[in-house]
Chains A and B, each alone.
Chain A
Amino acid sequence: MSIGCRDLRVTAGGRTLVSVAALDIDDGETVAILGPNGAGKSTLLRALVHLTQSSGTVLLDGQPATTTALRHAVAAVLQRPVLQRATVLDNAAAGLRLRGVRRAEARRRAEPWLDALGVAHLAPRHARTLSGGEAQRVAIARALAVAPRVLVLDEPFSGLDATTRTDLLADLRAALDRLSASVLLVTHDRAEAHALAQRTALLVDGEIRQIGKTSSVLDEPADPECATLLGFTTHLPPALTGRDVLLVARPERCTPLGDTTPDPPDSLVFEGVLRRVVPLGGAVRLDVDTGHGLAASVTTADITAAPGSPIRLAVNVDDLRACGR
C-alpha cells in the first residue's frame, strides 16, 4: 500500500514545525527521511500517520485517508522502545491484541517475528529485564507482527551501541524483505539510510530540501545545509575558489600538502591558516581558516605544522560538489 501526503503542515505556538508540499512512498518502497536534530523528522513521521495534530491530506493508495484507515494500515516504532509490563512474547503480541486478535492467536503470530529479530530465546522473560538493544528488537518485532502495510520507524537505532546497531540493521533489512510494506525510516544517520532506503529525502527546518535515489542524494547535496548534513562540511565559497558556485567537499577528501609539495594534478588547492589540530584517534582533524570561512581536513598524514602557521589543502576535482544557491 502506498502512503503519501499533500500540503502537510504542523504548527505549534504559531511556529511552523513541518511543511511538506508532497511526499509519496510507493508500495513496498523504503524511504528515509534524513535530517539534523530538531529538523522536524519525528514530527513529520507522526503527522503522516495521524499521531499528531496537522493540517493537509494524508493519502493511502492515492486516496485521502481517515485516522481509522491509518490505524489499520500503519505500525510505528518509536525512538525509545515503549514496552508493556509483561513478558517479551506478550509484548510482541501486543500490536495484534490491540487490533482485537485473541491472545493465543496473537502469540502464535508474533513468535516468528521474535525469531526474525533474533530475540526468540527471550520470549518468556519480563520486558523490564531487557537491554536497550533487546527492547528495541522486541518493539520492532511487535510492529512487524501486525503485518502492517505501512511501517514507520522513528530513529529506531539511535540509542544503541555501534555493534548492536549494525546487527539490528542487518536483521531489520532481512525482516523488511519478508514483509511487503511501504516503509518510512526517520534517521540522522546516512549509513542507515544507505542500508535500508531506496529513496532518501533531506529534511531541513521542517522542509524537504532534496529527495531522490538514496545513492545520488547522499552524494549530491543541493544546497549548503544539505551539504553539511551529508558530511560535505568543508565549504569553499566562490571568493576563495574563483568559481561561480559554492564548492563543498568531505573533510576526509581534503589533503594537507607539505611546504615543498607541488600542486597535485586535477585538484583544487587553497591556502589558509591552521587554527586547530584535533586528534581523532588514528586520524587528526585540521581546522583551517581560509579567510572565507573554516575548512576542515581529516587526515592520517603526519602533521608537523603548528596552529598559526600557513597550510595548503588540496581536493581532487572528483571529490568536489557544486552547490547552487
Chain B
Amino acid sequence: MDVLGDGLVEAVRLLLTGDQDTWAITGLTLRVSLTATVIALLIGVPLGAVLALGRFRGRRVLLAIANTGMGLPPVVVGLFVTVLLWRSGPLGALGLLYTPTAMVIAQAGIATPIVVALTAAALHQVDPDFLLQMRGLGATRVRALGALLTEAKLPLLAVGMAGFGAVVSEVGAAQMVGGNLAGETRVLTTAAVLATSRGQFALAIAFGLVLLAIAFAVNLAVTFAQHRQTATR
C-alpha cells in the first residue's frame, strides 16, 4: 500500500514540478501517435469507403481481413517493421530503425486496419440510398462522397479516437522499432515499462497518469464535439 501511496504522491509531484524528462516523453508520445493516427486516417478512410461502397469481387474477403486486422498484435507489426527496416533488410538503407519515424510507421500499421474496418462500419450505418439521392440532386461523384462523409462525421470522429487510443497505449511495437532510447524514442508506455522494471514505481505511475490524462482529454474533446452536434438538432 505504501508503494502505491508514495508512488502516487511522488508522481503528482513529478508532474506538478514540471519534470523536464516527463514532459519531453509526453511530447514525443503525442507527436508519434497523432502523426500515426493522421496517416492511418488518410489511408484508412478512403479504403474503408471503398470497402463499404464498392461492388467488386473479393470485397467481403477484404472486409474480413480488415476486421481481423483490428486485432493485429502490435508485437507482430513491430516485428514486421523491424525486419523491413533492419540494416540488411529491404529498407535498411534508409537508416530509420530506432527513430521516431519508424515508430510512426509501425503505429500507422497498427491503426490503419482499425480505421478501415470502423470506417466501413460507420458508412454502412448511413442510409443505403444516400449516395444515390445526393447524385439525384445533381451532385458529382466527389461531392456526393463528401456529403456522405459529412453525414457520417460523428462515427468517423469515433474512428479517429479508436485509432489514436490503440496506438498511444501500445508498447510492443514502440519498444521494438523505437528501442526506447532516452531522449530520442522513449515514449510514455516504454518509459513506464522501463521504470517499473527498475522498481521506480513513482515514475512509472506518473507516466501512467499522463497516459490516462491524454486518453481522457481526447475522449472529452470528442464527446463535446459529438454533444455539440446532437445538441444543434
Contact = CB atoms under 8 A, between A and B. Distances in A.
B60 interface: no
Contact of B233 (A68, A75, A128): A128
Contacts of B140: 68, 71
Interface in B116-155: 127, 129-130, 132-140, 143-144, 147, 150-151
B141 to A, nearest CB: 9
Interface stretch (A79-87, A236-244, A248-256, A312-320): A79-87
B232 interface: yes
A316 to B, nearest CB: 46
A99 B129 contact: no
A80 B129 contact: yes
B130 to A, nearest CB: 6
Given A98-B143, A98-B144, A126-B232, A75 B138 contact: yes
A72 interface: yes
A240 to B, nearest CB: 47
A75 B136 contact: yes
Nearest to B143: A98
A68 B143 CA distance: 13
Interface in A84-131: 84-85, 87, 94-95, 98-99, 126, 128-129
A75 B151 contact: no
Contacts of A94: 137, 147
What size tier do the contact residues of chain B reach? Answer: 10 to 19
A143 interface: yes
A76 B129 contact: no
Interface in A107-165: 126, 128-129, 142-143, 146, 148, 152
A84 B135 contact: no
A51 B135 contact: yes
Most buried by A among B129, B134, B137, B144: B137
Given A51-B132, A78-B129, A78-B132, A85 B137 contact: no
Contacts of B232: 87, 126
Contacts of B135: 51, 71
B229 to A, nearest CB: 8
Nearest to A49: B136
Nearest to B150: A84
Contacts of A95: 137-138
A72 B138 contact: yes
Contacts of B129: 78, 80, 82
B137 A129 contact: no
A229 interface: no
A183 B180 CA distance: 69
A74 interface: yes
A76 B233 contact: no
A87 B232 CA distance: 8
6 contacts: A51-B135, A82-B127, A82-B129, A84-B151, A98-B137, A129-B233
Interface of B: 127, 129-130, 132-140, 143-144, 147, 150-151, 232-233
Given A98-B138, A98-B139, A129-B233, 13 more contacts: A49-B136, A71-B138, A74-B138, A78-B129, A78-B132, A78-B133, A80-B129, A82-B127, A82-B130, A82-B133, A98-B144, A142-B137, A146-B137
Top 4 nearest A-B pairs (CB, nearest first) are A76-B136, A126-B233, A98-B139, A95-B137
